[in-house]
Amino acid sequence: MMKPFASLLLLECRSLLVGFNLGGSKKKRAPSLVGLIFVVGISLALGGLYGWGFVAMMAQAGYPQLALCLIGAMAGLFALLFTAMSAAGTLFSTKDLDILLALPITPRALFTSKVLALYLENFIITSCFLLPAAAAAAVYFPLSWSFWPILIVVLVAVPFFPCFMALLLSYLIAWFKSHFNPGRLFSAVLAVVGFVLLLAVLLPLQFGLQNVLTQNPAVAFSALSGGFPPLGWMANALFSTDLLALLWLCISAAVPFALEILLLARSYTHIVASLLTAHTSGKKKKLSALKAGSLYGALFKKELNRFLGTPIYLLNSGLGLILAFLAPIALLIFRRDALEMLSQLPVPGGFLPIMAAVVLCALSGTCYTAAVSISLEKNALWQLLVLPIETRTILSVKTLFPLLLQAPLFLYFSVTVSLLLGFSILDCILILLTACCFTLLTGCLDLTINLLFPRLDAASDTAIVKQSLSALLGMLLNVALAVLIAVPLFTLSVSSPLLYLLVISGACLVLAGVLWAALCRWGAARFRALT
């Protein structure tokens, strides 16, 4: 029994990496390890930024326990945020379960292998946060030799907490969908509401965090460890070599997780069977007149339905849209703190419109819909090719969809931020123009990337949206372009902010035109060759 289970577990773990293959034949395909190293490198950079910053802050107060507590809590929250919605697709996706359940292996073993693969994903994320913090602690504080072997145990134990919560949330969502059939939009709305609530808790802490931590670290540590005791056990085990605290940490992490697997695995087959029949039973069919519509409208509606109806797609590629909507609200609430923070930037105050445009472009860059639009067609791509539609028309809709989706949000952001910061009408118009031109450029760039690195054989949408190379390259290059816009502010002498925004808008339009010309020829041929 162990050999089939080990093979299945290896298969589930490899599925986390297969999306990073560069495509093509086996000889031309890059190893999956390259993609893993790429993702780990980005995660380590983010973890190092926060981890080193918190440890350096606590070095002044001489309280390293609090720094590791904060990083542990942040690692768990980030892991939960990135795996909660993908867990439902990984554990309860019905696209390949009919094949897997037919294998000579028990449903409990199948469920356990999927959960352990989910644990591996959480382990990678939490380790990328905790390891840089531990390295910073070794630089700023004298540590005993026991710190490092205890750290290994901590790295194994911490991922159980976000994995436990992700598994519980995904099971509750799957159970609710199988019994009430609320529609595809339910999970997307639930994910957005959960993310907004998380921001509502974290945002007030962001502005007053430094003063509280540096002035009264003992009280902050007591509050954190009292609110969630495993954080205190982790810190005491690492810095005081408290083996009893380490034992309690391991028990509190592993035992609830094991019990959860035992309980949920018993009804795994039932919940999967309910999901398989949820979309076909109890539906009411009504006769109604059909209305004619435009070709572009039909293709745009198809893209919009996929965006709104796929929770993992909406949450990952729509994260910047949510932040762009909440940013003016946060600016209104924390206007004084925000203006004080902006005044400390090493740029003149008259350049704030450029900074607002850069922020809006960076948030827009995280909406990488064109980078996964073709891959999400999967085995239904041929349906677009057999329609009496020019390939150029299909590519134009996929390229323009990010701009059409975000244009109302750009208008809202530009107007509200201009009113709150006292910008002129011309500033507001140029911020809006820059964001639109930038989005037009990134749409062409992302579609080019997706044509170069398509992922048409994925078993689920999660593998495309979160694990494909085109998704990662699209988001990272988009944000890098937005950051590139701000570099001249710190390195060159910019005479006029308004003229600078006009130059940036013109440059984006020219580059977008060049990429679109390439898409009309090479891209159309490449698109037809994908089938």
Query: pLDDT per residue over 272-304, tens digit each?
Result: 676 666 554 444 555 555 565 677 788 888 888
In the predicted model, is pLDDT for residue 475 greater than 90? no
Q: Which residues contact 251 (CB under 8 A, 6 or more apart)?
A: none
| pLDDT tens digit sequence for 78-109 | 787 777 666 666 676 655 666 666 666 777 77
- pLDDT value, residue 5: 60
| Interior/surface letters 390-417, b for 16+ CB within 10 angstroms, e for the rest | ebeebbbbbbbbbbebbeebbeebbbbb
d(CA 53, CA 66): 12
In the predicted model, is pLDDT for residue 514 greater than 90? yes
Count Cβ atoms below 10 Å from residue 425 Cβ, excluding itself.
Answer: 9
If you ran DSSP here, which 8-state letter would residue 348 be given?
Answer: -
Whether this prediction's pTM lies above 0.85 is answered by no
d(CA 478, CA 474): 6
Query: Considering all CA atoms of the chain, what is the largest pairwise distance in Å, rounded to the nearest integer?
Result: 76
Q: Which residues contact 48 (CB under 8 A, 6 or more apart)?
A: 132, 136
Sequence letter at residue 379: N
* CA dihedral for 313, 315, 318, 320, sign (positive or negative): negative
Task: List the structure tokens of 353.
Answer: 């419109």
- pLDDT value, residue 14: 61
Pair 329, 407: CB distance under 8 Å: no
Pair 403, 439: CB distance under 8 Å: yes
d(CA 189, CA 487): 37
| pLDDT tens digit sequence for 103-131 | 667 777 778 878 887 888 888 888 888 88
* Phi/psi at 415 (5° precision): -70, -50
